A and B are shown apart, each in its own frame.
Chain A
Amino acid sequence: MSTLLEARNVSKIFGGGLFDKSRTVALEDFSFQIDTDKPSVTSIVGESGSGKTTLARLLLGLVAPTEGEVLYYGKNLERLGGSDRKQFLRDIQVIFQDPFEVYNPFYRIDHVLDTPIRNFGLARGETARKELINESLEAVGIRPEEILGRFPHELSGGQRQRIMVARALLLRPKLIIADEPVSMVDASLRATILGSLLRLNREFGISLIYITHDLTTAFQVSEDIMVLYRGTVAEAGDVDKVVREPEHPYTRLLVGSIPLPDPDLPWEGERAIGRPAGELGESGEKFCKFNDRCPFAMPMCVQSDPPLFQTHANRVTSCFLYRESPELPMAKMTSIFKSATREGPPEDTAQLDGLDAELEVSQENSSTPTGGDD
């Protein structure tokens, strides 16, 4: 087993220069590993300001950590040399939030697919190039003749985002980091994009890090989840446990705030946990980041920061309410993830029907969608 990408006790602090007193801790003492031999789907969930995008940028080597290091096959990202660097750029792919900004409006769609083929010498000759592009596009449910030769403005946001997935697939990466890939796309198209990402995981063995603020889609696509709050991990582990039976008060608040698409289910929001407790006395140097919003806060919550308590075989919670459970060092967090402990492929084999149905329906209108019981 080898570790593809690892964050080791990483912190990122913005500001705080010589004359600048204001410091923003975007991420605090964070550790995380992605292994090569078990393709996994991990979600990182948090509100704006939770540090989730900073984490993505650290893993991509776009920003350098203030403390700690990010390692690619054990080598520090900041000191990667020529061929290692090139291999890194190929192995780790990213899909950004905005499917409009990533295209150069002056070039046809082909350009965005040709560039990686040229830069990495993926195909020799015109036929091989076309074959590779067609194969990638079909894997994400797009018929090549519909989009090749067209300009970005002629395509919908959903199509553009799927072309980005196809572009990532061209390189056969080991890991795709998708930062809010569906938040700017219509609801009816989200499922298809997430479906195509999942297909890459299942069929091509590519690991996924899915960064989002949306717990429902995180629940749908991933095995493991990390809930971030102001740069720290609030709760992490098996997505079924974390989302369905949340433990950390913040996760409970998040889950309670999701408006579920069923009018018979409650929407409790803040009522899910109640009002903050209030006066806890002077805050120490270390404290639980959630204490000012937490109805269960105790004096110890403002005196020290809670470590990870392992409350279940596949789950850790960073909250003193669970201090009876054994502590787990941050560096070992990913070792209890479901993707790390399971044997063989994930049990929940993906729901890819949507994508297959897509190709079928667009060719001949015969299949009936589910959900219509009339």
Chain B
Amino acid sequence: MVEETLSAEEPTVETKETLKVEDLHVYFHTYAGAVKAVNGVSFVLKSGERFGLVGESGSGKSTIALSLLRLIKPPGRIEGGSVYLNGVDLVSLSEEQMRRKRLDEIALVAQGAMNSLNPVRRIRDQFLLAFGDHDIDVKRSGFDDHIGDLLSRVGLGRDVANMFPHELSGGMKQRVCIALAISLSPSVIIADEPTSALDVVVQWQVMDTLRRVQEDLSASVILIGHDMGLMAQFVDRLGVMYAGRLVEIATVRDMFNDPLHPYGQMLIASLPSLESRKDSLQGIPGITPSLLNPPSGCPFHTRCPKVMEHCKTVTPELQEVRQNHWVACHLYEEA
């Protein structure tokens, strides 16, 4: 019960910060050693904000999603840092306290969430199961109304409640998952590549739905993915992950118009557009470093075109070099 006293002592000063992540470390302990999937990540999510986390596969973005919900399973472990949700440090909560927070205050729309629906249960039952876990009396009358409301909020018919998952298309299933995620009006919704398996028209429908319900609830959203186009169109602020670290955080406009970190610059330069075909097929040379044995100093120095001598030894800290524009790069240290 040490955890409870700890959490009780935490200052619960209500700021506009819904979620605050401080120096989060998540390691996976393998036979070959500790894989540092998340290595000192800090960021703040404001209330009602849409925040994006982009990165290549293996950059640690999905691990962040799972650790915010404390769903990291062994051999993975949260090694250090704090995650304050509405002022309460989730890392210090007991398993039971954390279970109550999930869905109620922080909900997940997972990657390929449509495959997370139980294939032998009607949609209605999947809602009832979720409510039952949160001590909501599911026998109360008018409950089908409530489920119907949730479904119509995500643009589905009320009759969907009586269907089985296989009767729905991928986009509809993903919207059911959004309806489930918002069923207890959480203050934070984490969407981990919610549209990665969907066609582009359906992707638009799902993201439009997510945006609408998020605004309805005035919840905050963390969108995790690698599609820069989706980020540009959906989020307010964007964090760029590289090898388990956040290397740049800026508003989405600043990020696309004036990226500062060399990785961010090359990432944005590599994006294909419909505007012109000039200089557009430029990839980022090299490969992502191993997280088992990350390079010393700046993790990007092995691929960076502007690498300097001390990049190879000193790890740059994330610092605010312009207003609301944070970057972890030695190029900006004098500023």
Q: Is the CB of B229 within 8 A of A352?
A: no
Q: Is the CB of B204 within 8 A of A257?
A: yes
Q: Is the CB of A260 within 8 A of B232?
A: yes
CA of A336 to CA of B306, assembled, Å: 47
Q: Which of A159, A215, A371 contacts B266 (CB 8 A)?
A: A371
Instruction: Return the CB mask of B297-314 against A: 1 if under 8 Å, else 0.
Output: 000000111110000000
| Minimum distance in angstroms from B150 CB to a CB of chain A | 22
Q: Is the CB of B232 within 8 A of A262?
A: yes
Q: Which of A188, A217, A267, A351 contacts B279 (CB 8 A)?
A: A351
Q: Is the CB of B232 within 8 A of A263?
A: yes
Of B25-33, B184-192, B252-260, the one contacting chain A is B252-260
Q: A351-B277, A371-B266 are in contact. Are A261 and B283 (CB under 8 A)?
A: no
Q: A188-B267, A191-B283, A263-B233 are in contact. Are A47 and B200 (CB under 8 A)?
A: yes
| Minimum distance in angstroms from A269 CB to a CB of chain B | 3
Contacting residues, chain B, for A270 (C-beta < 8 A): 201, 204-205
Q: Which of A191, A213, A369 contacts B281 (CB 8 A)?
A: A191
Interface residues of B in 243-295 (CB under 8 A from A): 252-253, 256, 258-260, 262, 265-274, 277-288
Instruction: Return the CB mask of B197-232 against A: 1 if under 8 Å, else 0.
Output: 001110111011000000000000000001111111
Q: A187-B228, A216-B273, A374-B260 are in contact. Are A257 and B201 (CB under 8 A)?
A: yes
Q: Is the CB of B226 within 8 A of A352?
A: no
B57, CB-defined interface residue at 8 Å: yes
Q: A267-B233, A362-B285 are in contact. Are A258 and B305 (CB under 8 A)?
A: no
Q: Which of B56, B274, B282 contacts A186 (CB 8 A)?
A: B56
Q: Which of A48, A260, A368 contacts B229 (CB 8 A)?
A: A260
CA of A264 to CA of B232, assembled, Å: 8
Total CB contacts across the A-B interface at under 8 A: 177
Contacting residues, chain A, for B232 (C-beta < 8 A): 259-263, 265
Q: A194-B281, A216-B272 are in contact. Are A187 and B226 (CB under 8 A)?
A: yes
Q: A213-B199, A269-B204 are in contact. Are A187 and B56 (CB under 8 A)?
A: yes
Q: Which of B205, B280, B331 contacts A351 (CB 8 A)?
A: B280
Q: Is the CB of A372 within 8 A of B286?
A: no
| Minimum distance in angstroms from A98 CB to a CB of chain B | 14
Q: Is the CB of B201 within 8 A of A253?
A: yes
Q: Is the CB of A259 within 8 A of B230?
A: yes
Of A17-25, A296-304, A317-325, A353-361, the one contacting chain B is A353-361
Q: Is the CB of A191 within 8 A of B282?
A: yes
Q: Is the CB of A260 within 8 A of B259?
A: no
Q: A262-B256, A372-B265 are in contact. Are A361 and B305 (CB under 8 A)?
A: yes
Q: Which of B234, B281, B307 contacts A259 (CB 8 A)?
A: B234
Q: Which of A48, A348, A367, A371 contacts B268 (CB 8 A)?
A: A371
Q: A261-B256, A269-B208 are in contact. Are A351 and B273 (CB under 8 A)?
A: no
Contacting residues, chain A, for B278 (C-beta < 8 A): 351
A190, CB-defined interface residue at 8 Å: yes
Contacting residues, chain A, for B287 (C-beta < 8 A): 156, 158-159
Q: A158-B287, A270-B205 are in contact. Are A257 and B200 (CB under 8 A)?
A: yes
Contacting residues, chain A, for B57 (C-beta < 8 A): 157, 186
Interface residues on B, range: 35 or more
CA of A368 to CA of B252, assembled, Å: 24
Contacting residues, chain B, for A104 (C-beta < 8 A): none
Q: A254-B200, A267-B204, A361-B305 are in contact. Are A156 and B259 (CB under 8 A)?
A: no
Contacting residues, chain B, for A259 (C-beta < 8 A): 203-204, 207, 227, 229-230, 232-234
Q: Which residue of B lies closest to A217 (CB)?
A: B272
CA of A349 to CA of B272, assembled, Å: 16
Contacting residues, chain A, for B266 (C-beta < 8 A): 188, 369, 371-372
Q: Is the CB of B282 within 8 A of A370?
A: yes
Contacting residues, chain B, for A117 (C-beta < 8 A): none
| Minimum distance in angstroms from B249 CB to a CB of chain A | 15
Q: Is the CB of B285 within 8 A of A358?
A: yes
Q: Is the CB of A263 within 8 A of B227?
A: no
Contacting residues, chain A, for B279 (C-beta < 8 A): 351, 353, 370
| Minimum distance in angstroms from B71 CB to a CB of chain A | 24
Q: Which residue of A lies closest to B197 (CB)?
A: A48
Q: Is the CB of A348 within 8 A of B277?
A: yes
| Minimum distance in angstroms from B290 CB to a CB of chain A | 11
Most chain B C-beta atoms within 10 Å of own C-beta, residue among A159, A217, A220, A350 = A220
CA of A362 to CA of B267, assembled, Å: 17
Q: Is the CB of A368 within 8 A of B305?
A: yes
Q: A213-B200, A257-B201 are in contact. Are A372 and B252 (CB under 8 A)?
A: no
7 A-B pairs, CB-CB below 8 angstroms? A156-B288, A213-B200, A269-B201, A270-B201, A369-B282, A370-B279, A371-B266
Q: Which 3 A-B residue pairs are closest in the complex by CB-CB distance? A: A371-B269, A269-B204, A192-B283
Known interface pairs A351-B282, A369-B262; 20 further A-B residue pairs with C-beta atoms within 8 A, sorted by A's residue number: A191-B281, A195-B283, A213-B200, A215-B200, A216-B272, A216-B274, A219-B274, A258-B200, A259-B203, A259-B227, A269-B208, A351-B280, A353-B281, A361-B285, A365-B304, A369-B282, A370-B279, A370-B282, A372-B259, A372-B262
